[in-house]
A and B are shown apart, each in its own frame.
Chain A
Amino acid sequence: METDVLAVAVKKKLGDFLLDVSFSSAGGVTALFGASGTGKTSIISMIAGLMKPDRGRIVLDGETLFDERERIDVPACKRHIGTVFQEGRLFPHLSVRHNLDYGRWMSGYAADAKAFAHVVELLDIGHLLDRRPGKLSGGERQRVAFGRALLMRPRLLLLDEPLASLDAARKQEILPYLERLRDDARVPMIYVSHDAAEVKRIANRVVRLGAGGMAETGGVELLALSPQ
């Protein structure tokens, strides 16, 4: 277990559903795969520090982010975990450039024009920098959201169904960017999805969530089983 980048073992009561999940990731892209209502987004929120588990422990890079018994609960703003949400959640009052810069600014890092230019090129968003999120298409918005999460120099990237709000054509347009991001960034990622084809393209490890709130961990062969 020493080589795990991320170890999660949490319990959380969500309405009348008890989420009881434990899994670990040794790096690369780990998919959280399951039908809706299996608590995927809640798990992401707990890792990000936006939702408090009832019980359990979350460890990232050897640092305990949450431990119910030891009363450790590192606030989200100190976790350095990049998160891409389903709906992008770009800040509507800031230009794309300032959205991208927000994480660096809040973390107090010096401006790094090279890193900025690299991410902008990687995601092909150079022509959008001076626009506001309201003027972007859904696909453009998600690309900017990827960039924003990457530029905060995260220790871990959480992607919560980043393609779910897009139609099939847009998904095909974004997937190559996601693959580039995966191959380029070398940041461990947790990728939430209910789409087996998508997961197969992106992930190298799968945590399959079942209706009972239990999880099974394995390779992409788990995808062959229908998500239940």
Chain B
Amino acid sequence: MLELTPEDWTAVLLSLRIAVVATVVALPFGVAVAYLLARTNFWGKSLVDAIVHLPLVLPPVVTGYLLLITFGRRAPVGAFLADHFGIVFSFRWTGAALACGIMAFPLMVRAIRLSIEAIDRRLEDAAATLGANGFWRFLTITLPLTVPGVIAGMMLAFARALGEFGATITFVSNIPGETQTISAAIYTLTQVPGGDAAALSLVVVAVVISLAALVASEWFARRAARRLHGD
């Protein structure tokens, strides 16, 4: 039943690469935005909050279209990045990672933000009396205590990135070996007669990866919780 063709393997590895890169690159931005939303008040905060959450409520195809007209080769931002930094997103796996990262971003920010909001701020006050300035308080108290939320956020982001379909296919199309993820490959297979049997093995792989990610994040979260509350 589970026989993967070389093309299937390419799609699986590409999916993993895209999901991992999207999650890891999004993380520092996710922590920064979560911190800003949880702890600071600034003009236009609700607007930032809304924009961050937009990919969660917009149809993924709309997000993909917006990416296309922003980061496409001839689009303003896309052309600028290509000309000045040699960074090209359109029809590349990096574009798929960008689409996945943006789609996963609200979930990541939400989890981290909740975790930051749950921190007992009196611990940071205690750190201040011990001589820690804002930067060190963040690095030695806030951030370590946020780790469970960071793990949850990364897990959600990874799963979202792995399952992303609409925005990715709209933005970077469905090119085998470059932008064809597991989801896109399954979709392609189901479009040809008799392809559903071949799709099944990819479906099994997708289930296995998702379950493995879930189990791994549970394990990390437990370990982190143990580290935070007793040894």
Contacts and interface: CB of A to CB of B under 8 A. Distances in A.
Nearest to B128: A76
A149 B228 CA distance: 21
Contacts of A103: 130-131
Contact of B127 (A82, A87, A102, A134): A102
B125 A76 contact: yes
A152 B228 contact: no
Contacts of A107: 130-131
A106 interface: yes
B136 to A, nearest CB: 6
Interface of A: 48-50, 75-83, 85, 87, 89, 91-93, 95, 102-103, 106-107, 131-132, 134-135, 148-149, 152
B229 A134 contact: yes
B131 A106 contact: yes
B204 interface: no
B70 interface: no
B176 to A, nearest CB: 46
Closest 6 CB pairs of A and B: A134-B230, A103-B130, A106-B131, A76-B128, A89-B126, A107-B131
- The B interface, classified by DSSP as helix, strand, loop or mixed, is helix
A91 B231 contact: no
Contacts of B141: 91
Contact of A83 (B123, B126, B144, B145): B126
Contacts of A87: 122
Contacts of B120: 89
29 contacts: A50-B129, A75-B128, A76-B128, A77-B129, A77-B131, A78-B131, A80-B131, A81-B129, A82-B129, A82-B130, A83-B129, A85-B122, A87-B122, A89-B125, A91-B126, A91-B127, A91-B141, A92-B123, A92-B229, A93-B145, A93-B227, A102-B127, A102-B140, A106-B130, A107-B130, A107-B131, A131-B231, A132-B230, A134-B228
Interface of B: 120, 122-123, 125-133, 136-137, 140-141, 144-145, 227-231
A132 B133 CA distance: 24
A95 B131 CA distance: 19
B132 A77 contact: yes
Contacts of B227: 93, 132
A81 B130 CA distance: 8
Nearest to B132: A106
Given A85-B126, A106-B136, A135 B230 contact: yes
B231 A148 contact: no
Nearest to A83: B129
| Best-buried of B122, B131, B141 by chain A (most CB within 10 Å) | B131
| Best-buried of B125, B129, B131 by chain A (most CB within 10 Å) | B129
Contacts of A135: 230-231
A148 B128 contact: no
Contact of B128 (A50, A92, A132): A50
A83 B125 CA distance: 10
Contacts of B136: 106
B164 to A, nearest CB: 34
A92 B228 contact: yes
Contacts of A50: 125, 128-129
Contacts of B129: 48-50, 76-77, 79, 81-83, 149
Contact of A92 (B130, B132, B145): B145
A132 B132 contact: no
A83 to B, nearest CB: 4
A132 B231 contact: yes
Nearest to B145: A93
Given A89-B123, A106-B131, 18 more contacts: A50-B125, A50-B129, A75-B128, A77-B130, A85-B126, A92-B145, A92-B228, A93-B144, A93-B227, A95-B231, A102-B127, A103-B130, A107-B131, A131-B231, A132-B231, A134-B231, A148-B130, A149-B130
Contacts of B231: 95, 131-132, 134-135
